[in-house]
Amino acid sequence: MLTRFLEIGKRRIGIFYQLDAFGRSGWQSARDFLKQKGLEIVADASYIRGCGLKDSYRQQVEVFKRNKVDVILSIASTSAATGFIRDLRDAQIKVPVANLSFVDAQAMFLNLSKLENKNNRSYSFGLVNSVVVPFFELKHYKIYEEYLATLLKYKADIKKYATADYNHPFYGPISFEGFLNAKLIVEILKRLGPSLDRSKLEEVIYNPKGFEIGLKIQ
């Protein structure tokens, strides 16, 4: 994402990150990348892990406003990133915000849409979200039909075991990534055999010959 932003002239990069190993590793990667390009992080602001949509991020917003960033890379959870974007737009800062795949884009969009209706203000513009797997609606992948069929098969069970306030999207990038993970884990267990020999685990994981997860284009 940073490569693309630099290509379009966005060189004053700000970093909003979670204050833990996850956030700092992303911060460090961004710093090292920018250093290779002869640049540095213009401004950064963190938040304590566990903060969510109900918390205020006005202090962090002020840091980016004061330093006049061109774009903000967000290394944050879904709820914290959503709350930050709300406060950023409330402060009339319209720079793009780029989120890592850790953020559930659907949940973020749903919450921002609710805020738009409530506050009569636009929040869901200028957002970029990365993904670590192909987009879940690319129908030319073989696994797409299997993914949808599995969701339909177990849809009733999801509602049965979920809490009353759990709003489960029918399909999306998070569940698709989880579906791919589950298929890989099942294949690993099959190859380990009934004894589940731990000594063979590394060999099985790093030698997936003969296994196609379903991402070949039909």
Paired tokens of 199: 């000594």
The secondary structure element, H or E, covering residue 72 is strand 71-75
CA separation (Å) from 143 to 99, 130, 166? 26, 21, 26
Instruction: Decide: helix, strand or coil at residue 93.
Output: coil
Q: With 80 as the cut, is the pLDDT of residue 44 above it?
A: yes
10 Å Cβ neighbour count for 168? Answer: 12
Q: Say which range, 20-34, 107-121, 170-184, has the weakest mean pLDDT.
A: 170-184
pLDDT of residue 167: 65
Instruction: Please state the rounded mean pLDDT for residues 125-139.
Output: 82
* pLDDT tens digits along 172-203: 777 888 888 899 888 888 888 888 888 888 88
CA distance 65 to 176: 36
Instruction: Please state the rounded mean pLDDT for residues 147-163.
Output: 81
CA separation (Å) from 36 to 86, 99, 127, 169? 32, 22, 25, 40
pLDDT of residue 163: 75
CA distance 187 to 208: 9
- Identify the DSSP state of 124: S
Domain layout of the chain by residue ranges: 2-129, 143-206
pLDDT of residue 55: 97
Biggest CA–CA distance in the chain, Å, is: 61
217 pLDDT tier (thresholds 50, 70, 90): low
pLDDT of residue 98: 97
Q: Does domain 2-129 have CATH number 3.10.129.10?
A: no
CA separation (Å) from 202 to 73, 115, 161, 208? 34, 47, 34, 11
Q: Say which range, 14-28, 68-82, 143-157, has the weakest mean pLDDT.
A: 143-157
Q: Would you call 7 exposed, middle or buried from its count of C-beta atoms within 10 A (0-12, 13-18, 19+)?
A: exposed
Please, what is the average pLDDT of the chain? 89
